[in-house]
Amino acid sequence: MTRSLGTLALTPSPMGWPAAVLVLAAIVLVVAWALWRARERRLLAAQKQLEDRVRERTLDLLRERDRVLAEKARAEEASRVKSEFLAMLSHELRTPLNGILGMTDLALATRLSTEQREYLQLVRASGESLLVLLNDLLDLTKIEAGALALNPVEFNLRESLVDAARPIFVPIRTKSLGYECRVSDAIPKTVVGDGMRLRQVMVNLLGNAVKFTESGSVQVDVTVSAFEGGRLDLIFEVRDSGIGISIEQQEKIFEAFRQADSSTTRKYGGTGLGLAISRRLVEMMGGRIWVESAPGHGSSFFFTCRLALPEPSSDGAGRSPLEILLAEDNPVNRRIAETLLGKLGHRVAVAPNGLEAVELYRGGAFDLVLMDVQMPEMDGLDATRAIRGIERTTGRRAQIIAMTAFDQEGDRERCLEAGMDAFLGKPVDSHQLSAAIAACPVQPAGA
Ligand code: ADP
């Protein structure tokens, strides 16, 4: 009995160790679970704290946004009220001013003594200056209030430049100055942009050029700086041989009411608004304006501006696509003509000179050739003769339209003699181009 009790006491039951291990594992699990829960609670608390902070910050930001929006609306309203007030004021001022100018004109048309005439002419001149100032002020306030919108239309750039130069014709003659305006023939006749505002910038630059030049000449140059996807970037230069502007003054003159120096105001008059308005207009047209000048050596005012090519008119769009060979050496002219033809739905192969045009013609099937006359390697006349030679062996005949800037007596005959069918004056105009193609008696090669 004793022995058996001792055996019982000293010998563990067969299930004893595993149970202990199980209990231990359970304890470990419970502790791990408790730790994990505690960690999770901590994480949840941190997350909640973070969410609270984000919510608070979001509310702050929303309040800030509402404040900024309200401020912006207030500023816009103030600016609108200001420009409305200025528009009204300018209208109210212009009405009696027009009365003064009109009545002065009537009085000037009557019999007057020399003294009376002189006084009235001074009234008229002062009235006109006041009108210019009012118009400039109105423009500037409109631009600053964001109330001036550009009005892009199709316009003829060359005609617009002639219009812009009209106000300087008289002073140019009185001062015996030379005047020249050169427009690159890469620029099509019709372009799309705000022609009126462009003219306004030119009127200002030309007016200044003549105002500050006593002898020599004023020159205008317009060239293409880039042509991309139907957009045309132009550079305008207005050069004069006048008094010039020092480097320090060059920095100021594009600001409103700033003139090079006060003696200029006394001697030449003006308000100092012209260049400030021009700068803003040019920027609205996607460009910039700057000056290069030295005192006593004249000034060159430059500005860039972005215009577009007009959509081709429907007169040439109705016809089936043609295979067109375009021979033109000037890369910008080539790109412009290629784009216009592409917009009309035709397929275009291009050649930079007569020789390559003939080679392309030999290897292809073209309905129409647009042939520049002046080209390196081989000119348009020789290339046409070569093409007509090839056609004698193939029996096909393409229409060849000459493109040339030299629209003089005899040019047309020489083109026709060489074997061309029609004649297109440069710069190529989208309307003329589509009309010339529409008038061509060609059937597409595949038809
Ligand atoms: P305004 O001619 O009415 O004074 P602008 O803004 O057109 O105003 O010109 C500002 C100033 O820039 C002129 O007063 C003049 O001092 C200077 N300036 C502009 N164009 C020329 C120029 N072609 N030659 C010399 N100075 C010029």
pLDDT digits (tens, 9 = 90+) for 211-259: 999 999 999 999 999 888 778 999 999 999 999 999 999 988 998 776 6
CB atoms within 10 A of CB 208: 23
Ligand 1 within 6 A of CB of 145: no
Specify the amino acid at residue 324.
I
285 Cα to the center of ligand 1, angstroms = 21
Taking residues 331-347, report their average pLDDT: 86
Ligand 1 within 6 A of CB of 213: no
Q: Which of 133, 201, 208, 236 to mutate to test the pocket of ligand 1 (most atoms within 8 A of CB)?
A: 208
Strand ranges of the sheet holding 368-372, from the earlier edge strand across to the other edge: 347-351, 323-327, 368-372, 399-404, 422-425
Ligand 1 within 6 A of CB of 136: no
> What share of the chain has pLDDT > 90, as a percent?
52
Distances (CA, A) of 382 to 168, 411, 419: 45, 14, 10
Q: 182-198: per-residue pLDDT in tens?
A: 999 888 888 999 999 99
267 Cα to the center of ligand 1, angstroms = 12
Ligand 1 within 6 A of CB of 140: no
pTM: predicted TM-score of the whole model, two decimal places? 0.69
Residue 322 near residue 243, CB atoms below 8 Å = no
Ligand 1 within 6 A of CB of 264: yes
| Nearest-CA residue for atom 2 of ligand 1 | 270
Residue 217 near residue 179, CB atoms below 8 Å = yes
Q: 83-116: per-residue pLDDT in tens?
A: 778 777 777 887 888 888 888 988 999 999 999 9
Residue 269 near residue 255, CB atoms below 8 Å = no
269 Cα to the center of ligand 1, angstroms = 10
Ligand 1 within 6 A of CB of 427: no
If we measure between CA atoms, which residue out of 321, 318, 403, 296 comes closest to residue 357? 403
Paired strand residues for 404: 425
Tokens of residue 72, six digits: 């912006």
CA-CA distance, 361 to 326, in Å (whole number)? 10
265 Cα to the center of ligand 1, angstroms = 9
270 Cα to the center of ligand 1, angstroms = 8
3-state secondary structure at position 1: coil
178 Cα to the center of ligand 1, angstroms = 20
Distances (CA, A) of 115 to 102, 103, 112, 123, 223: 20, 18, 8, 13, 50
Taking residues 319-342, report their average pLDDT: 87
| Nearest-CA residue for atom 20 of ligand 1 | 208
CA-CA distance, 109 to 396, in Å (whole number)? 72
Ligand 1 within 6 A of CB of 216: no
CB atoms within 10 A of CB 274: 24
